[in-house]
Amino acid sequence: MLTRRLLLSVVLAAGTACSSITDGDDAKAPRRVLFIGNSLTETNNLPAAVKALADAAGVPALTIGTDLVGGTNLLDHWMGLAPAMIDRGWDIVVLQQGPTSTASGRAELRLMAARFAKRIRAAGGEPAFLMVWPESNNATGFPGVSRSYRLAAEDVNGFLYPAGEAWLETWRRNVSMPLYADGLHPSVHGTYLAALTIFGVTYRRSVVGLPSALNADGILIWINPVDARLMQQAVDETIRQHGRRPR
């Protein structure tokens, strides 16, 4: 309990410090964000981590919705609850499935991207794609994963959150950064990187200076401040190179 209270104090203090970040246009800032995906988003409660970053940065509070089911792809979601959830109206709908590094998986992702984007825009929102990462024993899969999600985002003029690229950029700076929790799922460091990436692209802000400790709806994400700084700088560089917003 003491640790948690201390952590919340740290987050609060960091949030105050972040007010010096260049402000975006709050009138256009999203209020409602829906996450559709699987365990890669669910692990460490990535949506709540994004909300915690937004709270700390002083942008308008986010209402988060989730449709997260382990082992699913976007087609599974389409055949499930996702269409009805999308129709409730969200500013941004974040779409994510498995690594999708093969040509056949890429073709299916692009089909589903077009289908989801049409539905999301009909409900007044913008589609976004969370580029993930390949299995830990398939490092050569990174370019294929990146290409799949980039093409899906370009096809529908959506947001691209290049989290997998942020992993690579982080490893270029510190090859021992522990981003995997197992052979595929993210550690708290990996989730933190993904959250920073989503925040940075969405709000068009530098993520340097954001808190290194977050309360993700009960899951404590604590990163050594030195590592957090390195990761924030890596995310800024990644977004500069690979981030995408609707045009």
Residues lying near another protein in the complex (CB under 8 A) are found at 73, 75, 79, 103-108, 110-112, 114-115, 139-144, 151, 155
For residues 112 and 163, which CB has a smaller minimum distance to another protein in the complex? 112
Structure tokens at 193: 């990187």
User: Which secondary structure element, helix H or strand E, spans residue 219, and what is its range?
Assistant: strand 219-222
Q: Map residue 127 onto helix, strand or coil.
A: strand
| Closest distance to another protein from the beta carbon of 237 (Å) | 21
Show the DSSP H helices in 79-212 as ranges: 82-86, 103-122, 142-156, 163-173, 188-203
| Closest distance to another protein from the beta carbon of 36 (Å) | 17
For residues 92 and 112, which CB has a smaller minimum distance to another protein in the complex? 112
| Closest distance to another protein from the beta carbon of 175 (Å) | 16
For residues 155 and 227, which CB has a smaller minimum distance to another protein in the complex? 155
| Closest distance to another protein from the beta carbon of 154 (Å) | 12
**Count of C-beta atoms within a 10 Å radius of residue 19:** 11
Structure tokens at 77: 């979601």
For residues 115 and 229, which CB has a smaller minimum distance to another protein in the complex? 115
Q: Residue 134 in contact with residue 146, Cβ under 8 Å?
A: no
